[in-house]
Amino acid sequence: MKTIKGPAIFLAQFADDKAPFNSLKSICEWMAEIGYYGVQIPSWDGRLIDLQKAAESQTYADEIKGIVNEAGLEITELSTHLQGQLVAVHPAYNELFDGFAPASLKGDIKGKSEWATQQLKYAAKASSNLGLTAHATFSGALMWQTVYPWPQRPAGLVETGFKELARRWLPILDTFEDNGVDLCYELHPGEDLHDGITFEMFLEKVNNHKRANILYDPSHFILQCLDYLQFIDLYHERIKMFHVKDAEFNPTGKQGVYGGYQNWIDRAGRFRSLGDGQVDFSGIFSKLSQYDYDGWAVLEWECAIKHPEQGAIEGAQFISDHIIRVTEKAFDDFASAGSDEAFNKKILGI
């Protein structure tokens, strides 16, 4: 067994125009001071990193890595959640996602997809230049508007949708293979890859590509009423990243999974700071340790109630308290009588 690395933190929810969150150097220093050992960097945030430059210049990549290391931290992974979303967008959502791409591509659904594809390819090379082995992203969605279909879906719609999704992602996955980096999809509502079944359908269409893997985030499974512990039993071989994020689901006589169009604070299902929700993190850390997960435990802070700085401070200690230092010996070794092949045969009577 292997010991999970951490605590680490995803910087997307903390980057800001105000110090100390307005530069990679100062945000890393702040995170190190409150107990983190790693940072996951959102690649779209120019205050923290220039993704294309990190892909094209080893010198620049070394500079970025040096800034983080000087603060006493490591880069755990890069993230292209926003760019990955744009690889596949249904026209119904086109304008809603304009903010995820350069202003020059506003309204241009094809142009945004092409730009996003190139961004993912930059991310593969940048990750390699930074010495990283895993990368976080979203799958995008062509079928989400049909997830609870009315009227019914036409026959073959899902098959066609996954074929197209695979066609768009296969060249990207091949680029990640060329760079020795696992591409980890965060299974998330709003994405065509949002649970185990959809991941399996996609995996089949990309020919079980070895670089198609999972960013495990139990908060999204709580809100889907999915068994997030059994999920680890089923998919542990593909889990290469871990977002430590809490959530709660409290249905009432008025609302359930869909939330009745309410804001996050008023929804039956909502994200919470670590320890304030319902996720069984003791069970999760035990299972991931059992299955030799040796990646990072990365806090993704999202909460409708608590201030992010308090969430970050509490989160570092929470993760530290849940990381299991795995054992190198059996608990009953004290009772061992010793053994060799001859002794074993004697015990067996052979």
Q: What is the pLDDT of residues 30-44, one digit of tens each?
A: 999 999 999 999 999
Q: What is the pLDDT of residue 339?
A: 74
Question: Which residues, at least 6 apart from 320, have a Cβ–Cβ distance to it below 8 Å?
Answer: 6, 7, 35
Taking all residues of the chain, what is their mean pLDDT, rounded to a whole number? 96
The torsion angles phi and psi of 84, rounded to 5 degrees, stand at -60, -35
What is the DSSP pairing of strand 74-80 with strand 134-137?
parallel
* 332 band by pLDDT with thresholds 50, 70 and 90: low
Give the number of domains in the chain. Answer: 1
Q: Please, are residues 97 and 82 in contact by the beta-carbon 8 Å criterion?
A: no
pLDDT tens digits for 104-117?
999 999 999 999 99
Count of residues in the chain: 350
pLDDT tens digits for 117-156?
999 999 999 999 999 999 999 999 999 999 999 999 999 9
Question: What's the CATH code of the domain at 291?
Answer: 3.20.20.150
Q: What is the pLDDT of residue 1?
A: 84
Domain residue limits at 286: 5-348
Across residues 184-193, what is the average pLDDT? 98
pLDDT at 72 over 90: yes
Would you give the DSSP letter of residue 179?
T
End-to-end CA distance of the chain: 33
Q: What is the pLDDT of residue 5?
A: 98
pLDDT at 334 over 70: no
Question: Which residues, at least 6 apart from 148, have a Cβ–Cβ distance to it below 8 Å?
Answer: none
Above pLDDT 70, what percent of the chain? 98
pLDDT tens digits for 19-29?
999 999 999 99
Q: What is the pTM of this model?
A: 0.95
